[in-house]
């Protein structure tokens, strides 16, 4: 299996762009898939035709436009690196067009469904459920990414200022306000956390784990825990994911008249265009407001 500088490329992405481990693994898979498809003997053999053929092959194999675009983006970044290192004379992927992505609206839970989900986790006295409940509250209160949530340090919350310090994509830091209810939930949880760790045992993580190599709960474990909570709450388990909780946070804030720029900052979006997709979701509350306030809703005398 040819490598063609993938290891060096990934080292650069980690060091200079702060790419997360999951992102690096995805880059490795996507670039290696392209290299194996072309079966070139030397890095200088790659051509624009190879890249176009790769994209076409992915489409014929029924990969979604979103997946094809992601793989092409990885290949582009790889060739940018090789070009910067003077391993190739130009970037053969530079002018290859990405397939048009299907624009789907974010899925979200209602405010009542969020409440049911948290209450289902709270109904159990054991530490796993207590941890799941407070993680749900904090994720929904702050719109956290799952990677941010599971790796929160113990000292991330400023209780006096009612704020949480987050390290997001590319190790960029941001401060997000925290609702009092979520702060109270975290404060109460700390007693269970200390008992879970036992006397004298320390952990730098807010949500520690005794079995994961990282020392904190994993994404997969949290994913499983919220699926269990969904079943107990009577919600379809396929509707409950970390992404859906984050979407719910943004959607509910906008429905309660929080401005788009503020939501953008709390979500950690660099481009406000990423946040604007939430404005396409019309809530029942907005529908009722239009029906009651619009001039045509009033009876003509």
Q: Which residues are catalytic?
A: 145, 169, 243, 246, 269, 278
Measured in whole angstroms, how far is the alpha carbon of residue 109 from the centre of its chain?
16
Phi, psi of 173 (to 5 degrees): -90, 150
The DSSP letter of residue 241 is -
Burial of 87 (0-12, 13-18, 19+ CB in 10 A): middle
Cross-strand bridge partners of residue 163: 158, 177
**Sheet of strand 157-158, all strands in order from the earlier edge strand to the far edge:** 157-158, 163-167, 173-177
Cα–Cα dist 134/140, whole Å: 10
Cα–Cα dist 193/245, whole Å: 23
- Cα dihedral 211, 216, 222, 223 in deg (nearest 10): -90
Cα–Cα dist 134/83, whole Å: 47
Q: How distant, in Å, are the alpha carbons of 154, 167, 178, 276 from that of 175?
A: 15, 9, 10, 21
User: Quick check: 117 and 72 in contact, CB under 8 A?
Assistant: no
In the block, which residue shows the tokens 């929904």?
A: 140
User: Quick check: 129 and 122 in contact, CB under 8 A?
Assistant: yes
Write out 188-219 in H/E/C secondary structure.
HHHHHHHHHHCCCCCCCECCECCCCCCCECCH
């Amino acid at each position: 299996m040819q490598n063609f500088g993938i290891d060096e490329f990934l080292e650069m992405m980690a060091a200079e762009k702060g790419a997360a481990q999951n992102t690096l693994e995805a880059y490795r898979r996507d670039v290696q898939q392209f290299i194996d498809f072309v079966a070139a003997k030397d890095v200088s053999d790659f051509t624009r035709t190879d890249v176009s053929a790769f994209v076409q092959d992915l489409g014929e194999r029924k990969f979604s436009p979103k997946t094809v675009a992601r793989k092409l983006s990885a290949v582009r970044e790889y060739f940018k690196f090789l070009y910067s290192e003077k391993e190739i004379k130009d970037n053969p992927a530079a002018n290859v067009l990405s397939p048009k992505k299907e624009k789907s609206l974010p899925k979200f839970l209602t405010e009542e469904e969020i409440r049911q989900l948290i209450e289902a986790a709270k109904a159990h006295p054991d530490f796993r459920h207590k941890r799941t409940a407070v993680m749900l509250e904090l994720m929904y209160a702050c719109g956290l990414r799952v990677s941010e949530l599971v790796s929160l340090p113990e000292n991330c919350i400023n209780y006096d200022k009612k704020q949480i310090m987050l390290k997001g994509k590319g190790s960029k830091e941001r401060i997000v306000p925290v609702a009092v209810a979520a702060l109270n939930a975290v404060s109460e949880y700390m007693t269970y956390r200390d008992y879970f760790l036992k006397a004298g045992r320390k952990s730098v993580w807010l949500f520690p784990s005794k079995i994961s190599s990282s020392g904190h709960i994993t994404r997969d474990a949290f994913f499983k825990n919220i699926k269990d909570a969904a079943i107990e709450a009577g919600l379809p388990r396929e509707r409950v994911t970390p992404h859906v909780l984050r979407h719910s946070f943004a959607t509910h804030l906008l429905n309660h008249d929080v401005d788009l720029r503020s939501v953008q900052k709390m979500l950690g979006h660099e481009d406000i265009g990423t946040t604007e997709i939430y404005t396409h979701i019309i809530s029942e509350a907005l529908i009722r407001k239009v029906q009651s306030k619009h001039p045509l809703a009033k009876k003509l005398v």
